[in-house]
Amino acid sequence: MTIGMINTAQPYTGIGNYSFSLFESLKGLVDIDHVFFDSKQFTVSELTTSSKIASTRRIPLVDNNPFFYYRMQGHIPKYDMYLLTNQNISFFKVAPKVITCHDIIHEMYPASKVHQMAGKMMYKGLKDAEHIITDSDATASDLQCKYGISEDKMTTVYLGIDHEMFRPVEDVSSIWSKYNLEKDKEYILHISSEQPRKNVEGIIKAFYRLKKESGRTDLVLLKAGEAQYPQDRKNIMSLITSLGLENDVRFLGRVSNEDLVRLYCIAKMFVFPSFYEGFGLPVIEAMACGCPVITSSASSLPEIAGDACIIVDPEDYQGMSTSMLELLQDDDLRSSFIRKGIDRAAQFSWGRCANETAKVCTRVLEGILS
């Protein structure tokens, strides 16, 4: 019985990282192929055998990602079951199917009415799935609330990280000159796409208060990751200018995993106070690298963090600033969260994710065949 894993995300994205990492761990557990919709090359390929299934030309103005997926879905090969690696392609007309639902951002935190309407179209196949895998109990709760999907139709399977990659490292010499960082500064790190739900403006306001109240001139906020939408970066830059932080906030752009590990290792803390996350993979990555974390009390983040992070109200940037100052001033507190974080992160692995995913797929196949 062969499973077709359908993935539409590039490997450098969060969902792409999940899809490619999960597939590598699943290969030894179940008979599975990896069908990849590449919206950059406008191709559909079967990556297990490195064979191109179909290709097309981009239709100017109208060929956004969902439309490309919609018009190319007929090229998906026949499998005994389909594992769709994200909720945005739940509308695919394949069956039987198990869907991994990472979040329902378009429903829970829409950027606009158009964004919300797009979500309704993309998510419309969730109810038709034989089973849904969620990244967190928080996402399962969201699906119950918004779609009335029953608990027995969902299984929470936590994501993992590559522990050979994300770990404390001593040799960080490569990043100082690469990112023009000074060794006499102390760095606070954040990584995100800068969407409003990521709460970058809240981080900047908290950082401004921290600088003002502590009198510290050696503190620098590092922001890794590209803005998904130009307007988000424009709004953030406007806030930075209004607070006079132009020399204190640095944008690093997209960084490799190798560089990200070293940034986690030199940072005094990682701050991730999102308003909404389906999981929050950077929290686990930072903890695994020995970087203490301040994260949000919203959505899935307390569930993922456990007692290994400082939890703050994402609306309370003053409280966020106070927590930052405590981590800077209290070495015992910082050491405690480093130890807790490393222990907590060890619980999240791709091997465990794959084992639990394989069990779900096997149960679904057995139910179909019985």
CA-CA distance, 137 to 130, in Å (whole number)? 18
CA-CA distance, 145 to 143, in Å (whole number)? 5
pTM of the predicted protein model: 0.93
| Each residue's pLDDT tens digit, 283-296 | 999 999 999 999 99
Q: Which of 102, 101, 165 lies closest to 127, judged by CA? A: 101
Q: Which residues contact 152 (CB under 8 A, 6 or more apart)?
A: none
User: H/E element holding 263?
Assistant: helix 257-266
Query: pLDDT-based confidence at 369, cuts 50/70/90?
Result: low
Distances (CA, A) of 308 to 2, 136, 323: 40, 17, 14
pLDDT at 67: 84
Domains and CATH numbers, the chain: 3-160+349-369 (3.40.50.2000), 173-345 (3.40.50.2000)
370: pLDDT strictly greater than 80:
no
CA-CA distance, 293 to 269, in Å (whole number)? 6
CA-CA distance, 69 to 25, in Å (whole number)? 25
Asked if residues 162 and 194 have their Cβ atoms less than 8 Å apart, the reply is no
pLDDT at 63: 67
| Each residue's pLDDT tens digit, 146-205 | 999 999 999 999 999 999 999 999 999 999 999 999 999 999 999 999 999 999 999 999
Query: pLDDT-based confidence at 62, cuts 50/70/90?
Result: low
Q: Which residues contact 310 (CB under 8 A, 6 or more apart)?
A: 292, 293, 294, 295, 323, 326, 327, 337
Distances (CA, A) of 136 to 102, 198, 248, 278, 343: 8, 18, 35, 7, 19
State what percent of residues in the chain have pLDDT above 90.
85
CA-CA distance, 24 to 16, in Å (whole number)? 12
Return the HEC string of 60-89: CCCCCHHHHHHHHHHHCCCCCEEEECCHHH
Asked if residues 272 and 282 have their Cβ atoms less than 8 Å apart, the reply is yes
pLDDT at 57: 87
Residue scoring higher pLDDT (359 or 67) = 359
Matching residue, tokens 């034989």: 130
| Each residue's pLDDT tens digit, 225-265 | 999 889 999 999 999 999 999 999 999 999 999 999 999 99
352: pLDDT strictly greater than 90:
yes
CA-CA distance, 201 to 275, in Å (whole number)? 12
Query: pLDDT-based confidence at 1, cuts 50/70/90?
Result: confident
